[in-house]
Amino acid sequence: MLLSMAGVTLRADYSSPPRSRVGSFIHFPASQCLKVHLARQHRVLVGLPQAPSPNPLLLLPNAEAVYHLAGLAGSRPKCISCVQKGIDCHYTSANATETNSGVLKRKFQEVKQKTSDYEEFYDALQRMPPSDSQAIFRLIRRGADIKTVMGQITEGNLLLQLSLTPETQRRYEFPFVTTMPAALQTGDNLYLRSLIFEATFHDQNQQQLTVPLNQVNTRSGSPQYIYTQPYHSAEIVNTRLSSVDVSRWTAVSADNELMRALLHAYFLHEYSSYTIFQKDIFIQALTDGDERFCSSLLVNALLAQASVFPPFEVFKQRWKQANRYSIAIRGSKIANSSGTLKISAIAFLQKLGDFGNYGPKEQIFQLYKPPCYIGDKTLRHARDFTAWCLYKYQTIMGYYYFKSPMITIPPKFPLPDPYAEPSWYGDFILKYPANNTFTSLYFPHFFCADTKLKIILNAIAVSLFKPENVGRTLPANVKSNLRAQLESWLACLSVPLHPSNIVFPAQLRLHMEYHATILTLLQTPVNNDRSFASIIMSNENDDELLQEAISAAMIRLETIVRIYYLRHSYESCNTYLTFFLSNVGFAALERLRSSEVDHERFKHMMSTLIPCIKGLYDQGQHVHVASAVYRLLRNRLLPQDLRFLQGYIHWNITEDDDPLIISHVQSEWPIPIVGREKDPEAAKLENLARRLNEMSVDSSRETSEENELETR
């Protein structure tokens, strides 16, 4: 027999056969437990035989006993065996007052709740449309538990039930003239038959299109609400990104919530434009602390790019730290190569200094060497993906800067089929407000199509901008072949990227880039080579057909630029917009000045110029180079035309802050003005800004001299 002197727990072990109540627990007050103990102790002292216990008892203390023990030992009671072994007793009860039956009831409720969650999940899957169930399945594959999944399903439903019927359609209105110009409404303009245009404009009866919530469009396979809501209202659904510890990678801030929000903004708005790494591998490395695919350099560079919305000082601080890491770290890790590429991209967009020496050539070319067998699949995946990102990025830097690309041959490993291997690219799952369903960004299809377009742009840049091609001309057969490649690219686009189905900013940008490239190619002069091939392709030189093709490309480019504004506006940062708004804006300005125009044509030109200037102004709040281009385009307007602009852009026309802005412009990007192809040096933003600054100084000097003469 083991006996506890605390008078709380008594354990009897007799040879008598147990009865039906063996192992039961009986609660006694502490005083009664002490009496039992003293009585049995008395029998031992006087030598009397002890009466056999009628039942082996395990006495569980009640609240009074627990209180008594807490005063003696300060903890829950222990059995003799655990006391002798020096270990803690394992209690199945949650607290000292919970009985054995209470433990069983609590565990039963927990199992019942878990079973109920799975039953509700099964019922929800039965009622979901196929697109939503696929999104939930992808969420499970990413590691989400049952509570997280049910939270995504049930909480959205509760919010919808408790709220009023939400406004599911949101559109912005054109400034100056609110309708689409008649000159753009041609019969062969596919973008006027797109779902995004149909969902944005009024129908023939001037009644707004009624779109049922969550209805899947049979033409595109996507939910209808993505065509009626702006992209910047969506959020990325990624459980790892929403819980990752970012502060371990940077010393700039310890606020994980802030840095997660910055990374979310980067992936939502900027990742598609300048992809430099595989996002799933990066987020996993960010979570696991894997320095092969993530580094402080890369994290700081991403935070710097994402900090276009907070105050400039936050951006500058992150930039300085990323700059220090770039100087200090010269390893050949993929993460550092991506980080250095990102720094170069930020310099390219912001133009805060001369960052021409940041190209990590000795590291980057390692990605293009024929790799020996790499057993690590993740490492091989990251290497291949980063090599394609590098090829795309240096093509952008060559083509848009009128320079021959550094790398002219694409990677030897082909791009996988986005339908067969979407995980190689990594997709994004989006959730829009007031909708409890998810939709795909179709990033695998976008990245594959964008890369194939960059291959054509690379070929154009190699042929057009090689040093020996001083005249910037192309042979007729080369020009025709490149145009055929571009048209074939458009015809082979997958269903989500078809002109009638595009909706996301990245998809619209892809089509803007296509038509802007066609426009540049058509305006490229043909050299004087009178070879047989040039004679065969002589129809390319037909002025009438050429002008029709140029006009059609400009109509489509302007249409997409306008549709982009109607659905998404220009306020959210999209660095590519600077290129296309400049292209359309300067072209409209040249047409406005070229000849006398009637009233309708003037309205069309001004209704094009004002949104472009406003868009550059909005983008200039995030990107320095856009602010400089905005001032260049605005200052080319005649004084009588500026009055139309002032109703839509708030600036003090008497406050001359242009010299201050222009003094910081260090950009070699040739502005899309007339004559840019023949003399890109004169069209560089930096040179144009310098000339404008000199004109402003001369004008101020002349005005000062005139005022002085009048005073005399």
> Sign (positive/negative) of CA torsion 557, 558, 559, 560?
positive
Give the range among 449-458, 546-555, 608-617, 623-632 with minimum mean pLDDT: 623-632
* Both tokens assigned to 345: 């991209």
Please determine, for residue 133, whether its predicted confidence score (pLDDT) is greater than 80: no
Q: How confident is the model at residue 529 (pLDDT cuts 50, 70, 90)?
A: low
> What integer pLDDT is reported at residue 2 of this predicted model?
43
Give percent above pLDDT 70 in the chain: 61
Q: What's the mean pLDDT in 501-516?
A: 96
Backbone angles phi, psi at 474, to 5 degrees: -135, 145
Average pLDDT over residues 8-19: 43
Confidence grade of residue 158 (pLDDT, cut at 50, 70, 90):
very low
Residue 162, pLDDT > 90, answer no
Start-to-end C-alpha separation, the chain: 123
Contact 305, 347 (CB under 8 A): no
pLDDT per residue as tens digits for the range 265-276 = 999 998 998 898
Question: What average pLDDT does range 601-630 have in this prediction?
Answer: 88
> In this predicted structure, what is the pLDDT of residue 453?
98
| Mean pLDDT of the residues in the chain | 74
Q: Tokens 């359609």, residue? A: 169
**Is residue 60 over pLDDT 60?**
no
Q: What is the pLDDT of residue 413?
A: 87
Higher per-residue confidence, 703 vs 319: 319
pLDDT band at residue 63 using 50, 70 and 90 as cut-offs:
very low
What is the per-residue pLDDT for 328?
54
pLDDT in tens, 107-132: 777 776 666 778 777 777 777 777 67
Question: Each residue of 641-671: pLDDT tens digit?
Answer: 888 887 777 665 544 455 545 555 556 667 7
The better pLDDT of the pair 552, 594 is held by: 552
Residue 441 confidence (pLDDT): 95
In this predicted structure, what is the pLDDT of residue 677?
59
Q: Identify whether the C-beta of residue 625 lies closer than 8 Å to the C-beta of residue 350.
A: yes
- As a whole number, mean pLDDT of residues 562-584 equals 91
The percent of residues in the chain predicted with pLDDT above 90, rounded, is 29
Instruction: Determine the average pLDDT of the residues in 184-197.
Output: 90
Is the pLDDT assigned to residue 672 strictly greater than 90? no
Q: What is the pLDDT of residue 218?
A: 59
pLDDT at 461: 95
Give me the long-range contacts of 606-610 (CB less than 8 A, separation at least 24). 606/176, 606/177, 606/641, 606/644, 607/174, 607/175, 607/176, 607/177, 607/181, 608/181, 608/558, 608/584, 609/585, 609/633, 609/637, 609/641, 610/175, 610/176, 610/644, 610/645, 610/648
pLDDT of the residue at 224 = 83
pLDDT at 84 over 70: yes
pLDDT at 506: 96
Stretch among 156-165, 445-454, 523-532 having the lowest mean pLDDT: 156-165
Number of Cβ within 10 Å of residue 117's Cβ equals 16
- Residue that wins the pLDDT comparison between 264 and 169: 264
Residue 647: per-residue pLDDT: 75
Cα separation of 149 and 537, whole Å? 60
Cβ-contact 337, 360 below 8 angstroms: yes
Summarised one tens digit per residue, pLDDT across range 209-221 is 444 545 666 566 6
Query: Quick one: average pLDDT of 166-171?
Result: 54
pLDDT surpasses 60 at 160: no
Q: Which residue has the higher pLDDT, 122 or 370?
A: 122
Q: What b/e readout covers 74-89, taking b as 16+ CB neighbours within 10 angstroms?
A: eeebbeeeeeeeeeee
Q: How confident is the model at residue 208, as a pLDDT?
A: 41
What pLDDT is recorded for position 338?
Answer: 62
pLDDT tens-digit series, residues 299-355: 888 888 887 754 444 555 555 555 555 555 545 556 555 655 555 555 545 443 333
pLDDT at 573 over 80: yes
- Give the per-residue SS3 of 180-242: CCHHHCCCCCHHHHCHHHHHHCCCCCCCCCCCCCCCECCCCCCEHHHHCCCHHHCEECCCCCC
Average pLDDT over residues 48-66: 48
Query: Is the pLDDT reported for residue 92 higher than 70?
Result: no
